[in-house]
Amino acid sequence: MDIKYTVSNNNLTVFVYGELDECSASQAKNILDRIINDNLNSQKVIFNLSGISFMDSTGIGLLIGRYKKLIKHNVPSYIAGATPATEKVIKLCGLYNIMPKY
């Protein structure tokens, strides 16, 4: 699990690599919360999942938690670059209904 980010034009883009599952969720949550807290003035946050090799329901829960954190600060969040396997999980649980595809 690796997480990197960039800020461009007041937009925060977070790149997640590896597996987003029960084993990595706690570490990912801490890192994502720190990045988000440092960039709460962003106009939007884009979670780029192109580097995800596996994601289960724990990963979905992690993303929903970050969505809830951001929406409290009126910052919309989006999902970009999901691989076919990851996109299948996202569509199945309806995550695109709250975090649209970017």
Number of H helices, E strands in the chain: 3, 4
Per-residue pLDDT reduced to its tens digit, 62-81: 999 999 999 999 999 999 99
Query: What architecture is domain 2-97?
Result: 2-Layer Sandwich (3.30)
Domain ranges of the chain: 2-97
Residue numbers of the chain with a pLDDT score lower than 50: none
Distance CA 2, CA 79 (A): 17
pLDDT at 66: 98
What is the pLDDT, as a whole number, of residue 80?
Answer: 98
How confident is the model at residue 84, as a pLDDT?
94
Structure tokens at 89: 């999980």
SS (H, E, C) 13-58: EEEEEEEECHHHHHHHHHHHHHHHHHCCCCCEEEEEEEEEEEECHH
